Amino acid sequence: MAAANPLHRTPSQLRMRALQCPLQRQLRAAQDTLCRSGEYLSAGGTCVVCPDGQYQDAWDHTETTCKTCLAGSASKGSEWYDKGNCDPCEPGTYQPEAGRSECIVCPDGTAAEEEAQTSCKACGPGTFSQGISSYQKSRCETCEAGSVQPASGKSSCILCRDGWYQDEEAQTACKICRDGEYQDGEGKTACKITRPGTYTKGPYDFQHAAEMKCDDGTYQPKAGQSSCLKCPGRTFQPGRGATACRPCRPGNVLDSQKTSCTPCWHHHLGGKSAAACKPFLAGSVNFSEVLEQNWQINGRKSKYVAQAVRRTPTSGRLHNPCARLMMDGKQKSLCEHFTVFILPNRDTRIRYQTRGGGQADCTIPRGRTSAKCLTYYVSEEIGSQKFEGTEHVIISGFQVTLGRPAGKPGQQAQQVGIAALPADPASTVANVTAPLP
């Protein structure tokens, strides 16, 4: 048998040789090619930049692959120096998967305070996060005073509502205003003090969302109060939100709720108010009247007198008007109306009402025919000006006729009503002076 020829190659051997030759050539070329950091040696024998999400930290190497970036990091770029290492995710970002080219900004309500995080942490109660930048998600912001956040993982805080406040940061609940305080706005750091004439009290927020005005018949002179005071004694208050009560003068009926003070002649004898007033008799009076005013401004005196008039008013009836011009034709009297009452002891009481609500009483004793009644008095200082003035009604020829207004001779006097009379004559605003000569 003939010996085999060593130069002879089988087809299969030739095929294997053909495959080995390029690889050998590449390895021989690689001995002359060293790649930089961030590159790998390709099958073609050239250095190629690592793909995004991978890196290569070896220098002057012949590595044919790159390494994969771990979770919490990323790599991206087209230059070799971009892929020498993976960049850790900066604070405010995260990356839960390996081999990624970018980190993700934390969602609203979460934050990542450190780098290279694979997840973000939810913001705790009293804090929040919101925004699109990594800086805005690098930490949770505290809720400012005036706002709160009771839950975790929230993107904003909740403003304190009306009736509530919060004076501290990073809080989970608002504080309700105390009694005597209120808050009518949102997001406030303190409550307001109620003003005089108002109050607040109660366990609910709506009871502290606004000042409550004192009801009729009550008042409150101080600020920051939780209730109002009932008008004391013979005082009343018809309006709401008052800081003081008004005196109910003698001759008026004070209701039990202290909300009104009504002149007695508005009531009928035998009614509920009868005990507060005194009876008067039917009849009429007849007299001559002269109105006189005296004024003094810084020592300078002026006097005005109206023309005499004759009056025949009926007992218990309002007579309106009584105002008239003085003789100078310019100065007007202050009187608006008056009422005459014939009392059971035959004295006569005249009540004068002046502009601005002033009131004065004048008693003419039985049998007296003249009197000088004070109906108005004022004394003020305005700057350097001192001002004083009086108005009197001078009565003469005073006569009393008992009985009905159109009385007949011998008709018996009858009690027909109740009059506004104080129990103590000293409590009248103005009493009759000495009779005129």
List, for residues 40-81, the tens digit of each pLDDT value. Answer: 999 999 999 999 999 999 999 999 999 999 999 999 999 999
Predicted confidence band of residue 175 (pLDDT cuts 50, 70, 90): very high
- Could you tell me what percent of the chain has a pLDDT over 70? 79
Give the pLDDT of residue 7.
43
Residues 287 and 410 in one domain: yes
- Domain annotation covers residue 298: yes
- Domain annotation covers residue 383: yes
Residues 282 and 374 in one domain: yes
Q: Phi/psi at 128 (nearest 5 deg)?
A: -160, 170
Residues 404 and 378 in one domain: yes
- Could you tell me what percent of the chain has a pLDDT over 90? 57
Number of domains observed in the structure of the chain:
2
* Average pLDDT of span 216-232: 98
Could you say which of 241, 264, 287 is where a domain stops? 264
- Domain annotation covers residue 10: no
Residues 295 and 346 in one domain: yes
Residues 293 and 408 in one domain: yes
Residues 307 and 386 in one domain: yes
pTM score of the predicted model: 0.55
Residues 383 and 256 in one domain: no
3 against 101, higher pLDDT: 101
- Domain annotation covers residue 401: yes
Q: Picking from 152-161, 241-250, 348-357, which range would have the lowest pLDDT averaged per residue? A: 348-357
Could you say which of 264, 285, 315 is where a domain stops? 264
Residues 286 and 366 in one domain: yes
For the stretch 228-271, pLDDT in tens is 999 999 999 999 999 999 998 876 778 889 999 887 654 333 23
Give the pLDDT of residue 251.
67
Residues 249 and 284 in one domain: no
- Domain annotation covers residue 416: yes
Give the pLDDT of residue 220.
98
User: Which amino acid appears at position 434 of this protein?
Assistant: A
- Domain annotation covers residue 302: yes
Q: Phi/psi at 124 (nearest 5 deg)?
A: -80, 170
> Residue 240 is part of which domain span?
232-264
Residues 396 and 318 in one domain: yes
- Domain annotation covers residue 324: yes
Residue (of 95, 100, 94, 9) closest to 52 by Cα position: 100
- Domain annotation covers residue 328: yes
**How many Å apart are CA 209 and CA 285, to the nearest integer?**
60
Residues 334 and 251 in one domain: no
Residues 308 and 358 in one domain: yes
9 against 216, higher pLDDT: 216
